[in-house]
Amino acid sequence: MEESQGSAFVLVHGAWHGGWCWRRTSDRLAARGHRVFAPTLTGVCERSHLDSPSINLSTHISDVVNEIRWKDLDDVVLVGHSYGGMVITGVAERIASKIASIVYLDAFVPADGQSIDDLGGKVDAGPFTEPLPAELFATQEADRAWVGRMMTRQSTACFTEKLKVTGAYLKIPRKTYIRAKNCPAFAATLDRVRSDASWKTCVVDCGHDVMIDAPEELTSILLDAI
């Protein structure tokens, strides 16, 4: 399809990550003339000085809602990776009219009243949950040490808060689900959305951090989601 110039991409990272993880992909999108926003959610990475057990999923939903509202963005291509799928679902509940396309990148797609804990994600017993090793994400070997060094702990409340879902995200005009082939965690999620003809689906032959392992292929898929 022909690209629409100047589309606004909002890229939401997964658990323990930050805006840093999108750099390879965001640079490619920007080079093609698009505006790219990759906010780091409250309490992690360069915002880890705000870390607190009180930070939860609602905090992160507000982070992204405010990114879109205060930067006056419309017709947004909203992308959520992994835990970011919870976040973008919540964002759609609040400002669906500003979203033209929603993309779940090897991500959770929650039903009403579900949390990451309910969906089988990693949740530690204390107030903070430590990152999984990059090896478990099947991150390409050359990047594993870097990814491991860049990840930070995250408030456990992010993973235990249950999300209210009315299905607003399903009304967004374009919906895409991307699965990372080398990380089996989201195979069943892909199968579920595949049964709905309103979704585009694809599989990328790489590890869970698709934006790091396969930025060129991911960029092409995201441009096709405009």
Average pLDDT, the chain: 96
The model carries a pTM of: 0.97
Beta-strand pair 8-12/76-81: parallel
Query: Can you tell me the mean pLDDT for 106-121?
Result: 98
Phi first, then psi, for residue 82 (nearest 5°) are 55, -115
Of the candidates 16, 22, 45, the one whose C-alpha atom is nearest the C-alpha of residue 222 is: 22
Q: What residue ranges do the domains of the chain occupy?
A: 8-224
pLDDT at position 1 is 36
**Is residue 26 pLDDT above 50, yes or no?**
yes
Query: Can you tell me the mean pLDDT for 119-140?
Result: 97
Give CA–CA dist 28/218, Å, rounded.
10
Give CA–CA dist 182/202, Å, rounded.
13
C-beta of residue 25 within 8 angstroms of C-beta of residue 225: no
The model's confidence at residue 5, banded by pLDDT at 50, 70 and 90, is: low
Place of tokens 């991911």: 218
Of the candidates 114, 95, 103, the one whose C-alpha atom is nearest the C-alpha of residue 164 is: 114
**Is residue 66 pLDDT above 70, yes or no?**
yes
Query: Can you tell me the mean pLDDT for 52-56?
Result: 98
State the catalytic residues. Answer: 82
Give CA–CA dist 85/158, Å, rounded.
12
Q: What kind of fold does domain 8-224 have according to CATH?
A: Rossmann fold (3.40.50)
Query: Can you tell me the mean pLDDT for 153-157?
Result: 98
**Is residue 91 pLDDT above 80, yes or no?**
yes
